Amino acid sequence: MAIRPILTAPDPRLKAVSTAVKKVDGEIRKLAQDMADSMYAADGIGLAAVQIGVPSRVIVMDLDQKDGKKDWRVFINPKILWASDELATYEEGCLSVPEIYDDVERPARIRAEYLDLDGKRVEIEADGMLATCLQHEMDHLEGVLFIDHLSKLKRAMLLKKLTKAKKAIAG
């Protein structure tokens, strides 16, 4: 379909809280396909619609993509129904925060519900990378970046580094 540019921090549009999708229709399916194409082009494993400037509650994800397979999933209006008290720490990165990686602690297991591309309600239990990635992408829907989970000092340093890199590229 179409590869769309991915917004990078500190773009203020990344802080927008996304709105619920009212109806799963051809427009939403096209958005999801564009998101998948954009995610693959950027060599990512997950992307929220807000990262391409569309503040709608849509996520695409493909955890198998790193193995050379393409089997993406769409999560529309996702909600976490339950999260474990047990925490897990994974090194996270983000297409909107390029070249930055850091450890983030999140619930180890979650139960979530969402709509699929047919508008059907689906409920899943997730752990490991799926749980982490889903929580990471759902944060985007609330205007939260993974670096917002880091200390204020570390986040400020990383944003300064990003801004400097953007200026160097621009000019």
Number of domains in the chain: 1
97 in a structural domain? yes
Give the H/E segment covering residue 156: helix 152-170
| Residue with the two structure tokens 């339950």 | 82
Residue-wise pLDDT tens digits, 105-151: 999 999 999 999 999 999 999 999 999 999 999 999 999 999 999 88
The residue annotated as part of the active site, out of 99, 105, 123, 137, is: 137
Sign of CA dihedral 105, 110, 114, 118: positive
CATH code assigned at 49: 3.90.45.10
Q: Is 171 part of any domain?
A: no
Give the model confidence (pLDDT) of 38-59 as tens digits: 999 999 999 999 999 999 999 9
In a domain, 6, yes or no: no
User: Is residue 153 situated within a structural domain?
Assistant: yes
Asked about 86 being catalytic, the answer comes back as no
Q: What is the pLDDT of residue 78?
A: 98
Please state the pTM of the whole predicted model. 0.93
49 occurs within a structural domain: yes
What residues make up the domain containing 133?
Answer: 12-166
Residues 6+ apart with CB under 8 A from 92: 101, 102, 103, 104, 132, 136, 146
